[in-house]
Structure 1
Amino acid sequence: MSVKKIAYAAGVSLAAVAISAATALPAQAAGQISICRDVNYGGGCVTTSSNVADSTRQLGLFWQESISSLRNWSDANICFYEHPGYTGAVMWVGRGANVANTHYYDMGDRISSWRPC
């Protein structure tokens, strides 16, 4: 199930996408997400913390605005932001959800930070 909403805050347009899933979470991956450079979980993936303020600084230039698919293994909803420091457009991904193509939600190759929300 997905829902798109557009909100305006402080003169900045924020696109919020709600994605949820009713699947069980693997216990070994609680508190983590997997991000991939290409759609359908290809092009190189890494499993990392569910709270990253700046993907470039914390994961390296390889991940700078290059995420095209992801998996939320954490036990929380995760907000993925366009810019470092949790700013810009945001995509909300429910606990246990998988997003095979972030481009579909206008966030392809744009994600720079994320945290539980």
Structure 2
Amino acid sequence: MKKDVAILRQFYADDFVFTHGTGYVEGKESWIKDVENPAKKFTSREHDSTLVELHQDLAIVTGRLIISRSEKDKVYRYGIRYIRVFALRNKNWQLVSHRTIKEWHYS
């Protein structure tokens, strides 16, 4: 998967907050640095069960995501359920919050 951080910088709001399933919280630049890490490679991201609730300039998205990634010599496959909040700012939709509400791992 391509690591297009220029697109991520546009897509994520400057006040973006990412709450991981572990409770760890990070902001936009910290998350983008993590994505840029050459030791971490996402091999697939499969979305399903996606629901969008639209309220004028606010959208709440819930869904399930199955992720496969490698880091060094290890392969990880795990699933999450999430809530994402998007805001319409300056005529563009931006992701302001991602919260993992459930996480499970495959062996």
TM-score of the two chains, using structure 2 as the length reference: 0.23
Structure holding more strand per residue: 2
Higher RCO, 1 or 2 (CA under 8 Å, sep at least 6)?
Answer: 1
